[in-house]
Structure 1
């Protein structure tokens, strides 16, 4: 035989015996969807591997035809939708029905399939399909069992995403029965070790073919898959896969001779082409290996450069983080610490916080946990807290908590920023305190200067009048000057007394001389003693009470100072033609004293500070009304020493009402008395004004 004839013979044998598929294109990808939980046909195991009878069949077809098949596991309804919307080319396993054949084309059968009724072992009232009437039935959504149950009158259908979920509902007594694929159901029952708890009743339902499905117009893919399926059935690969998953082999004797011919052809082709293939493969592989080695070296060099750049960038970021004075802590989604800077470690006094939980860190756990939960929802959360450290030092902390967001705004962790502003707060408080003291002493010096100036002027008048020869005029002028001097000396005395009382209140040395007294009489007498002085200013004053006698334990001198201060305050801030009302009322536990006027009132934002130290509504020395700024402070101190309370109710332009509540208690015995130790409650100074 000539060399030319030999070549022709080889080409002819290749054309006859080597399967040639005009559709096989290694570059073409056939997208095939499948159920992600339909064992043993197709399912994703606990390691995330997609496996099953259908999966192995598709891989065998891909290897046989040398085509690229891409498998996509998903929920069954999603698979149907993907095929109908042409996002995939086929579904690798579908039970045939008349309804489905209107929309889909099917390959030759993969297996003969059937449905079954599954019930709990102790259930005896279900024996056939018609027994399901009026009962609750679980099925897999989109499964052929939907068509079966649709014909059962009164059956209530519960759709599940997969058969395993349906069996679980059966075991929890949420349904009466489950209808689904027979082999899949048996497989799940065995895997869940429920074989003694679940049984199959009745005959096989809806026996039909189970095939690969495509859209009716996708003839090319259908023929290609059918061809691959025929090939693996002929070469025995199908039998191996079927035996692996179902334990039985299906033998088609009609194709035995084709297997023998195929084997002979393969041997001949292999013998004729082996040397040529090896030669060309060797040459190609050498070049390919050389090219790949060069590419890998270049890629490795690039990766080394990128790694060094990344390491340098991380070191730089770490230095920046360590130089920030605020404490910074990062948490993951499980509440574990993933990192922190030096400031956070110093603030929290921790050494190795990596991996610790929120509960293990030494700060306000509830507060941080609350902010952490907000941040996990994508919200920024801020709050200021006072933190008691282990050294009994109170720190002022501004805490800000931010979510760390990844792709699609998904929260991947939480950042906590702790700003310690304790020193700043203390400095501001000290400055404010110094400012208030400066204002207070400036006003106090003005209050001292006024009566001293009056006394000095009176002395000058005495000197001038002493030269007057008219004895009657001299005596009148002297009496007037002496009265003025006496009044201003009394004013200075009371001012000094108030300062002394404030000092005693600060140090806790004020004591009460408590005696059983008629509080109504005490308040009434003080009020009546200043009626003339008040009415001379064209202001009316009224006293009222709902009871004539209320005997309680009081220090009468301190009560007098309280009422005089409040009346003086009302007189100063009530214009001519105004009115002042004093009232005493008895309660079960407290005696209430009210001093009310219709004067200028107090602004809302000042009502909380009028009883505080170094606080005045009008801070200027040239303010409209005289006053040392300590009177209301003493009032509050004296009231609280009695175990009572004082508050103000006022509207700007409509007047003010000071309301005192004293305990309705008596000393044991008419003549009993005792001294009550004062308590240092942080007394404030406002004004004890001289009404004379």
Structure 2
């Protein structure tokens, strides 16, 4: 009996004692990816264990939050792909860029990463990025160094999967230079025993925030990581790890050096110490000035090279509108040279709105186009933006110029081509319209010899032949109105009659394609418009609607008009396939088309015509349900063309 009680007690002890401990031991597993060849930040030691500054930081954060880390060592591009696809939770170390910010969320920055240009010590040709032309440069795939080299002409890139392999290509003589981060280069050179055989030139390049990254939207984990980093800053752990991985001297060596200096100070006389200190201070100050001057010169030379190799003309102005910088493209376009520096911008470009900019209470952007040189036909697009100094004080303007002459000429030719294409389709419809009156006239002429004496026949001849000829004349007038390019000829126009004339052009096609056409326009709606131009807009909309319904089971074309408080609204709706959401914001841009034929200027021209009338055109569409275009004709007011103005 006693043994049975002991057995039950043992079972209860196991149930309430062991199981809670097992449940409490569970921890959330974080899969962390890192570049396996980026010492001293992240790397694998000889035993295959993860090591590095970033690794130690994440260990401390994981311990603080009760995470269990599962390391995933990868090549850099694979690490990016793993995080993007959700195969890992955290990427241990990534330079911030706006491109990566679209797909990842970044922690607070814990380091400033910079690139350096590394060359053999005996090299006497390469001192800046501009001197890499015709040279072979070793670089890691996906590294910012590749973006820098893309701005250097005729450079040859030897791309490796990691920085260790890239630096080995330099040490083996396969490359003339190496671009990578400074700390990894120093680590690998010390590891290879060659720190004195190579030198770093061109200063620090492209300093950028360096942080951890999580998948977009993983805010809970991101908050834990940021809290962990802040704690490491507060309790001194970050400083300890930073000193261990990045300071070249250990504490006990530094201490011995300090004691030796103290001993020397005791021996040396005060005067000698002062003289030596002054000498070395001056020497180091001069060296630092030379280094900073060289770095500044390199940076300015690089910036100048970038400015001179852009496609745009760029000028900078001071607050008074005097020229302070002119790049090579601007010198070529404006036919000027460095003597233009200091001159008022009005002497070169009087078309710029400088006086308007100077008179404004607050600096703002200005953008527009102007003709450069009277009668030259050259069209420039300008973008004039203010810029400030480090204290956000307005110190001048940046002017960007682009020569749009060829683009304007090409655009004019394409508009004419689009119009001729539309005219071809329009002529096909008119051929049918002309055939009907011609058939009637032909019939009367053929019967004329036989029924010349028939009074009833002569009456009908005199009635119908002139009517049919007038009908043909109206059709030809409509065609001429559509094709002629002329100033606006505003007149009060009956909207219903205008729509009927447009529908008549497509009547045969609509009947052949079994399109149900419905016109819902109350009588008496009048709008001040250029009838020919507006007919061009409506022909384009109806033509687009018929083409959109070519593959639809149900084909309905509905045209409505209504008089509102602010003007007249005219809508053209179809039951076609609709327009994709991503195309709607760009629908009225030139050259946008989804058709196998045509060049995409129909809606662009239509929107331009509506703006000339002081109105606007809007579109609503759902994929698979159809599309509606709405034309808004405002009531006459200031800035809106009125029939009384013509």
Q: TM-score of the superposition, structure 1-length normalised?
A: 0.31
Q: TM-score of the superposition, structure 2-length normalised?
A: 0.33
Higher relative contact order (CA 8 A, sep 6+): 1
Structure showing greater Rg? 1
